[in-house]
């Protein structure tokens, strides 16, 4: 049961969460439907997570571990949230 | 109702994502996730599992040698905790070939970084989900087929402003057949990643011309695709160039954006192929990389004629109809014009003997993918042209049923890397041999030994990775030759264990395990 939960939540964290945060920030003023947001979020999540870890490892030698990758994804998700807060939305 | 309940569940989340999800609330009031959209998504998920996931219901291992190679690289990334630029099957092997330069006829180029972003994606999927890279290899193709169909749905819905042709195209595109020579969505190969994002890159390209907010998304997705499968990104150059020739206003309106994109392309080019020597030498190297000579003599008519067979005759016919219908709209014609651009490459391959931008086999897959998207548009127009609605609906359903079920056409033709019964003997190697043991096996089975048993092998069949022709020939000679030849090869290759599908009688070999007509010998 825990394995299934990890697979589902881990998968969502990798392929949906960072991109969703960025999409909601980028397109907050535009009328977007959920389907388009979902497609863009999946594409952005995969692109952002793989590119960030690719260059962090290639250029700075950051090791590819669950903790490091998790931190990278959290930071990628946190940046749009901070911008959102800074813009006075909360 | 479902949508409302989902939002109520997500709202209390205090995480950054939870905060952001609150933004969805006003969107919800616009009632944008209609029941129809939800049904479309459920259809696409179900069909992705049926067309791609189901192929592993009776065979729980990867099919293609390239899949095993990709899984091995992902395993190595997780083991070493860094990106790897060597062949992880053969460390220390004298026949070591750095990735697949020799196999692709590309000499003196650093191709080790090619497709690494895709291997990183496999590794990260395994890391976050806790599923082993080997099992990830069975699940990811289904996920990528869903992304492919979903992205097609988004593109066609935007182009036609209608859900029905979008759904039809999304269903058609997932019926792209997989074949060992052309590859395809069934396999855990970088091409599947590129194919999945091809419709979305078209969509983002068109939307970038309308709103600047799409530009960063377009550039990021394009960059990720370039580093995951360079051919899938480079192929956009002729396609988008032809579209812009037919729409010169785009160039005039978006000069700065285009210059920015060219700059990004140059940066990506330098990442994929590092600059060495002079500018002229570098340009010559790039041109050499983007030129793919024909290695096998072929019947020129066979290439043209196989499209209807490969895609399905009905789908091919509908795609031609969709082609002409799509040419009537300014934005929609990006699809038929892309087919034209790729057709030039196919014709160059047939008449000049060279494919440009991407290998011929990949171009065939890209052109088929776009034709299948057009087939969905074509079927929609056929549906609309029939006055009796019930008859039209029945016809559409019959065509879709035939098309979806035609996907299994080539399944029996895919040669297996290992038989299902070989899994246990290979696992025995993992449990009973030292970690640094070198195994001599047939080059095809060696890929599975490297992945399942995590042991070094002597030779490897050519694919994403490979070993030298010499090592492959010597391995084959060992299993086909007589005792004298075998003794000579053993002395030269110095393996620790032999993995064989036949019994071998030699004084220098000691049988240590036999299971499912597979024999493992220790070299004395």
Per-residue pLDDT in tens (0 to 9) along chain B, 524 residues: 334 443 343 343 333 334 334 444 444 444 555 678 888 899 999 999 999 999 999 889 999 999 999 999 999 999 999 998 888 887 665 555 544 444 444 443 445 567 889 999 999 999 999 999 999 989 999 999 999 999 999 999 999 999 999 999 999 999 999 888 888 899 999 999 999 999 999 999 999 888 888 999 999 999 999 999 989 999 999 999 999 999 888 888 888 888 888 888 888 888 777 787 788 888 888 888 888 877 665 554 455 557 888 888 899 999 999 999 999 988 999 999 999 999 999 888 888 888 888 888 899 999 999 999 999 999 999 999 999 999 999 999 999 999 999 888 878 888 889 998 999 999 999 999 999 899 999 998 999 999 999 998 988 887 778 777 788 888 999 999 888 899 999 988 889 999 999 898 888 899 999 988 899 999 98
Quick one: tokens of A24? 């909601």
Question: CA-to-CA distance for B131 and B81, rounded, in angstroms?
Answer: 17
- Judging by DSSP bridges, how do beta strands B354-356 and B456-457 pair with one another? unpaired
The DSSP secondary-structure symbol of B462 reads S
Question: CA-to-CA distance for B51 and B171, rounded, in angstroms?
Answer: 10
Give the pLDDT score at B105.
41
> Cβ of B223 and A47 within 8 Å?
yes
Chain A residues within an 8 Å CB radius of B157 = 35
**3-state SS class at B291:** strand
Gap from A61 CA to chain B (nearest CA, Å): 8
> Cβ of A17 and B30 within 8 Å?
no
What is the number of CB-based contacts under 8 A between chain A and chain B?
141
**3-state SS class at B158:** helix
Q: How many CB atoms lie within 10 A of CB A89?
A: 14
pTM of the model: 0.89
Using the Cβ of A65 and the Cβ atoms of chain B, whether some distance falls under 8 Å is answered with yes
At how many degrees (to 10) do helices B116-129 and A66-86 cross?
Answer: 90
Alpha helices in A1-90 (DSSP H): 2-15, 17-26, 34-60, 66-86
Question: CA-to-CA distance for B360 and B343, rounded, in angstroms?
Answer: 11
Gap from B213 CA to chain A (nearest CA, Å): 6
Gap from A88 CA to chain B (nearest CA, Å): 13
Gap from B7 CA to chain A (nearest CA, Å): 12
Quick one: tokens of B60? 């729980």
Chain A residues within an 8 Å CB radius of B153 = 35, 39
Question: CA-to-CA distance for A29 and B110, rounded, in angstroms?
Answer: 44
- What distances in angstroms separate CA B170 from CA B47, B366, B411, one per listed residue? 10, 15, 22
Give the pLDDT score at B254.
81
Using the Cβ of A76 and the Cβ atoms of chain B, whether some distance falls under 8 Å is answered with no
> Cβ of B129 and A7 within 8 Å?
yes
Question: CA-to-CA distance for B308 and B316, rounded, in angstroms?
Answer: 5
> Cβ of A64 and B83 within 8 Å?
yes
How is chain A split into domains, by residue range? 2-86
Using the Cβ of B151 and the Cβ atoms of chain A, whether some distance falls under 8 Å is answered with yes
Buried-exposed string B447-476: b where 16+ CB fall within 10 A, e elsewhere: bbbbbbbebbbbbbbbbbbbbbeebbebbe
> Cβ of A35 and B153 within 8 Å?
yes
Give the pLDDT score at A31.
67
What is the value of ipTM here, to two decimals? 0.96
What are the tens digits of pLDDT across the range A16-68? 999 999 999 998 877 678 899 999 999 999 999 999 999 999 999 999 999 99
Give the pLDDT score at B1.
38
Beta bridge partners of B440: B498
């Amino acid at each position: 049961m825990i394995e299934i939960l990890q697979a589902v939540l881990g998968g969502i964290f990798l392929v949906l969460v960072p991109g969703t945060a960025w999409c909601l920030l980028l397109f907050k003023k535009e009328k977007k439907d959920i389907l388009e947001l979902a497609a863009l979020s999946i594409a952005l999540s995969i692109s952002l997570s793989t590119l960030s870890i690719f260059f962090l490892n290639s250029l700075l030698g950051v090791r590819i571990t669950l903790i490091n990758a998790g931190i990278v994804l959290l930071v990628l998700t946190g940046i749009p949230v901070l911008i959102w807060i800074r813009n006075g939305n909360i | 109702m479902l949508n409302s309940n989902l939002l109520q569940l997500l709202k209390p989340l205090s995480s950054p994502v939870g905060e952001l999800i609150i933004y969805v609330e006003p969107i919800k009031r616009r009632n944008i996730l209609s029941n129809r959209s939800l049904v479309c998504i459920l259809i696409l998920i179900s069909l992705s599992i049926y067309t791609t996931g189901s192929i592993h219901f009776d065979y729980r291992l990867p099919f293609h040698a390239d899949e095993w190679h990709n899984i091995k690289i992902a395993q190595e990334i997780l083991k070493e905790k860094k990106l790897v630029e060597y062949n992880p099957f053969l460390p220390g092997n004298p026949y070591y070939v750095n990735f697949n330069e020799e196999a692709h006829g590309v000499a003196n180029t650093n191709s080790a970084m090619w497709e690494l972003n895709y291997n990183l994606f496999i590794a990260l999927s395994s890391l976050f989900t806790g599923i082993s890279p080997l099992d990830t290899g069975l699940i990811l193709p289904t996920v990528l087929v869903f992304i492919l169909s979903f992205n097609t749905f988004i593109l066609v819905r935007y182009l036609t402003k209608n859900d029905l042709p979008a759904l039809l195209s999304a269903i058609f595109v997932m019926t792209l057949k997989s074949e060992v020579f052309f590859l395809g969505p069934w396999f855990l190969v970088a091409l599947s990643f590129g194919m999945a994002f091809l419709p979305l890159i078209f969509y983002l390209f068109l939307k970038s011309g309308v709103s600047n907010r799409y530009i960063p998304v377009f550039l990021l997705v394009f960059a990720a695709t370039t580093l995951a499968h360079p051919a899938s990104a480079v192929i956009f150059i002729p396609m988008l160039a032809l579209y812009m020739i037919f729409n010169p206003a785009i160039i005039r309106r978006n000069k700065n954006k285009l210059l920015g994109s060219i700059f990004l392309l140059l940066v990506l080019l330098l990442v994929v192929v590092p600059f060495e020597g002079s500018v002229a030498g570098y340009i010559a190297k790039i041109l050499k990389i983007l030129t793919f000579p024909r290695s096998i003599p072929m019947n020129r008519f066979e290439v043209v004629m196989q499209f209807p067979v490969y895609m399905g005759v009905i789908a091919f016919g509908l795609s031609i109809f969709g082609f002409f219908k799509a040419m009537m709209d300014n934005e929609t014609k990006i699809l038929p014009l892309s087919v034209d651009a790729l057709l030039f490459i196919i014709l160059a391959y047939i008449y000049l003997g060279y494919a440009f931008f991407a290998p011929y086999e990949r171009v065939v897959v890209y052109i088929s993918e776009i034709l299948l998207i057009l087939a969905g548009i074509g079927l929609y127009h056929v549906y609309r042209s029939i006055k009796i609605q019930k008859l039209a609906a029945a016809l559409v359903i019959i065509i879709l049923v035939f098309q979806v079920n035609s996907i299994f056409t080539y399944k029996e033709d895919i040669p297996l890397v290992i038989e299902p019964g070989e899994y246990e003997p290979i696992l025995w190697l993992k449990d009973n041999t030292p970690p640094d043991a070198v195994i001599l096996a047939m080059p095809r089975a060696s890929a599975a030994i490297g992945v399942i048993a995590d042991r070094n092998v002597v030779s490897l069949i050519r694919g994403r990775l490979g070993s030298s022709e010499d090592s492959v020939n010597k391995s084959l000679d060992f299993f086909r030759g007589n005792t004298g030849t075998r003794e000579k090869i053993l002395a030269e290759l110095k393996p620790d264990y032999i993995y064989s599908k036949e019994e071998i009688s030699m004084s220098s070999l000691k049988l240590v395990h036999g299971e499912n007509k597979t024999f493992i010998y220790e070299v004395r």
